Structure 1
């Protein structure tokens, strides 16, 4: 009986530790996980994407092998493809779409304002 209590206590302690962890991948309904990171603004997102692209260019130019020791079986092309997939996932599509719509709406307002400002004879 003591062993069961000890195991239960250990499991409860592990559960509490797990609940306090932050930044863990969160499971989604289809068994996939999502990972997030915080940025200060859209410029930081673009800067991060540019940095990842620069790393890919550096890896592909033949001057550098950026493979981790644990990942020696992967080719640099495979590693770069994984980074490029990450970059595609990081692309701020919704922000860019939003900015396109806002720009379009503001342009329409500007055109209307100019048309309304024309003197009528």
Structure 2
């Protein structure tokens, strides 16, 4: 598993990318999907996930839908129209960042 210091700056783009690929997801579902896709190398805690989701909801990048499951309420998150643009920009930025890191950690010898 990667350290929190290493993954901290990538959690928001990861969450947004997942939500862009699904109609809607709830918090626990997001954490489990990240764990599954990364083979357990990235584990998002509730303490890290929900502040990001709430911030994105306040910025109108995400919207929520409450669904009653028995006596419980499940809050689903989905991307707004304006949020799709944010995801495109963050995806470009993270890919550029990865390319930049590879210049340092995997330099090509000429």
Q: What TM-score does the superposition give when structure 2 sets the normalisation length?
A: 0.32
Larger gyration radius, structure 1 or structure 2 = 1
Q: What TM-score does the superposition give when structure 1 sets the normalisation length?
A: 0.29
Q: Work out which structure has the larger RCO, using CA pairs closer than 8 Å and 6 or more positions apart in sequence.
A: 2
In terms of fraction of residues, the more strand-rich structure is 2
In terms of fraction of residues, the more helix-rich structure is 1
